[in-house]
Amino acid sequence: DGGITQSPKYLFRKEGQNVTLSCEQNLNHDAMYWYRQDPGQGLRLIYYSQIVNDFQKGDIAEGYSVSREKKESFPLTVTSAQKNPTAFYLCASNDRGGSGNTIYFGEGSWLTVV
């Protein structure tokens, strides 16, 4: 089945440690996105990529890094510079030529600092 796969579902990070969240899609979508969700707030855009080997900062990129070496993959690294990384992270993708420019989401990854 086509879709977006995020892993791991749950991840614990120690202080000062970098961690990487995986996002893979088999929808042949050009654009991919990373959002962060905190309780009581809407989703905030961290990074997005409209095409392979290119990506742009979103609203809250500080302390995060991404790469887009392959069309189907858009991993997010939460670095030690991110001071408050505990959140729910959502990856998304869309086919910019598709109907409604619909954006599809993965099931999310919970990151907790211990």
Q: Which residues bind other proteins (CB under 8 A)?
A: 4, 6, 31, 33, 35, 40-43, 45, 48, 50, 56, 58, 90, 92, 94, 96, 100-108, 110
Q: What is the smallest separation between the CB atom of 80 and other proteins, expressed in angstroms?
A: 26
CB nearer to other proteins: pick between 78 and 90: 90
Q: What is the smallest separation between the CB atom of 66 and other proteins, expressed in angstroms?
A: 14
Cα–Cα distance measured from residue 78 to residue 81, given in angstroms and rounded to the nearest whole number = 8
Cβ 17 vs Cβ 80: under 8 Å: yes
Q: What is the smallest separation between the CB atom of 47 and other proteins, expressed in angstroms?
A: 11
| CA nearest to 87, candidates 5, 3, 1, 13 | 13
CB nearer to other proteins: pick between 31 and 80: 31
CB nearer to other proteins: pick between 103 and 113: 103
- Secondary structure class of 95 (helix, strand, coil): coil
| CA nearest to 71, candidates 93, 56, 90 | 93
Cα–Cα distance measured from residue 42 to residue 14, given in angstroms and rounded to the nearest whole number = 26
Q: What is the smallest separation between the CB atom of 21 and other proteins, expressed in angstroms?
A: 13
